[in-house]
Amino acid sequence: MVVVNVVCYIVALFLEPFSLIFRHFSSYFRRLVFVILRQGRIPTHIAFIMDGNRRYATKRRLAKRSDGHLHGSRKFEEILKWSLELGVKEVTVYAFSIENFKRPKEEVDTLMRLATEKLEELVQNRIRVVGELDLLPHEVLKSACSAMYYTRHYTNHIVNICFPYTSTAEILSASNRLLQSGFAPTESRLSQLMWVGVPDIVVRTSGERRLSDFLTWQCSQKPSPMIAFVDAFWPDFGLRHLLPMLLRYQIQVKRHQRQETEEESQEWTAFLQKQDQEYWDKIRAAAWKDPLSPPASPWIAK
């Protein structure tokens, strides 16, 4: 298996530089490499800190630094395509920190516009927008809630968009709900109230070696997710970075198997179901003025 994995990596190194010239051939060979990789363990859930868009724009001398986010959104689409081909069931992306509201208005507006556009393009996946949603502009909130509501029963692929998000806000939200529930606080119960589950791999691009308030609770679980810091800006992230990461995961996963969540009482299960129902009631109400009479899906051609 190790020899096969090394071959996969070498193929990726030669494949990627020629991908623009031999697009059809590179697509074929990429899928072939993925088939080989699937002979080993494929992560169920990968999370990405999509960092380096603005520095990418500066490096490429784009007209505006905010233009880097457009290139970053295209890379996001490519990563989702690769994850589907690999068989990864869930992808989480750190799209917008609560702290990002402090950035220049033009950049924030660009990110909000891109978010609205991408939500409409991603409805073939099950979409979950997680974070302090009340901080979003009305139209962005409406688009997010509408996308979540109409894709809530999809099972093929889950995309968690952390927007606007910090792990601090997530932990505070889970802690408050647990305290208000009246149940005895335990680590397991707090974990079940988090917005995002524990990923198998957390990836940060741009060369930074920190999590920046992203999934810090999840990364503290035992065994913890594999964390990969990549020395490339997000728009430059490619197969030459992804494949070694997957190889490393396949080696590590044999040593560490995550423990199953301890069994809970029927009362706690009923509480979680009630929380879920209240959540979807809020999503439905935020998506339409009349929460009892939602219109047809806005993405269905008329």
Upper half-sphere CA count for residue 117 (Cβ side, 13 Å) = 11
Q: Name the token pair of 117.
A: 């556009």
Q: pLDDT for 50-103, tens place per residue?
A: 999 999 999 999 988 888 999 999 999 999 999 999 999 999 999 999 999 999
Q: pLDDT for 10-41, tens place per residue?
A: 555 555 555 454 455 577 788 888 999 999 99
The answer to whether residue 282 sits within a structural domain is: no
Same domain (yes/no): 14, 85: no
CATH number reported for the structural domain that contains residue 212 in this entry: 3.40.1180.10
The answer to whether residue 284 sits within a structural domain is: no
What are the strands of the beta sheet with 45-49, ordered from one edge?
A: 126-130, 158-162, 90-94, 45-49, 201-204, 226-229
Examine the pLDDT at 261 and tell me if it is beyond 80. Answer: no
Which pLDDT does position 298 carry in this prediction? 36
Same domain (yes/no): 99, 216: yes
Examine the pLDDT at 301 and tell me if it is beyond 80. Answer: no
CA distance 127 to 24: 29
Q: Quote the percentage of the chain above a pLDDT of 90.
A: 66
Domain range spanning residue 222?
43-242
Same domain (yes/no): 223, 77: yes
**Mean pLDDT of the chain, nearest integer:** 86
Region 135-162: mean pLDDT is 93
Nearest to 282 by CA among 149, 122, 119, 128: 149
CA distance 21 to 31: 17
The answer to whether residue 172 sits within a structural domain is: yes
Examine the pLDDT at 242 and tell me if it is beyond 70. Answer: yes
**Number of separate domains in the chain:** 2
pLDDT band at residue 302 under the 50/70/90 scheme: very low
What are the backbone angles phi and psi of residue 47, rounded to the nearest 5°? Answer: -115, 140
Same domain (yes/no): 130, 167: yes
Q: Please list, in sequence order, all residues whose beta carbon lies within 8 angstroms of the beta carbon of residue 81, skipping any fewer than 6 positions away.
A: none
Among the residue ranges 36-45, 58-67, 159-168, 195-204, the one predicted with the least confidence is 58-67
Same domain (yes/no): 4, 110: no
The answer to whether residue 299 sits within a structural domain is: no
Nearest to 238 by CA among 1, 5, 9: 9
Same domain (yes/no): 15, 152: no
Which pLDDT does position 7 carry in this prediction? 55
Q: Are the C-beta atoms of residues 149 and 282 closer than 8 Å to each other?
A: no
Same domain (yes/no): 97, 159: yes
Same domain (yes/no): 12, 91: no
Region 182-205: mean pLDDT is 95
Which pLDDT does position 76 carry in this prediction? 96
